Amino acid sequence: MTPEEMKSILTNQYADYQEIKQANGDHENKELEYKMKRTAAILESLGVNV
């Protein structure tokens, strides 16, 4: 997998997580928060500003 492909997949995944978070409203979801932070960290390491 090329870095560009990885950026694309992770960007889409991060967007999906944001949609889920918005749909959850005030409901706290620690697993979702962890996945968002992890995905954001990987994207930033690839040079994508989150």
Is there a domain that residue 3 lies in?
yes
For the chain (length 50 residues), average pLDDT per consecutive 10?
Answer: 94 97 94 97 94
- Overall number of domains in the chain: 1
Is there a domain that residue 24 lies in?
no
HEC assignment per residue over the chain = CCHHHHHHHHHHHHHHHHHHHHHHCCCCCHHHHHHHHHHHHHHHHCCCCC
Is there a domain that residue 12 lies in?
yes
Is there a domain that residue 2 lies in?
yes
Is there a domain that residue 5 lies in?
yes
Is there a domain that residue 42 lies in?
yes
pLDDT at 32: 97
pTM score, whole prediction: 0.89
> Could you tell me which residues come within 8 angstroms of residue 47 by beta carbon, excluding any fewer than 6 positions away?
none
Residues 43, 14 contacting (CB under 8 angstroms) = yes
Is there a domain that residue 4 lies in?
yes
Q: Which domain holds residue 45?
A: 1-18+30-50
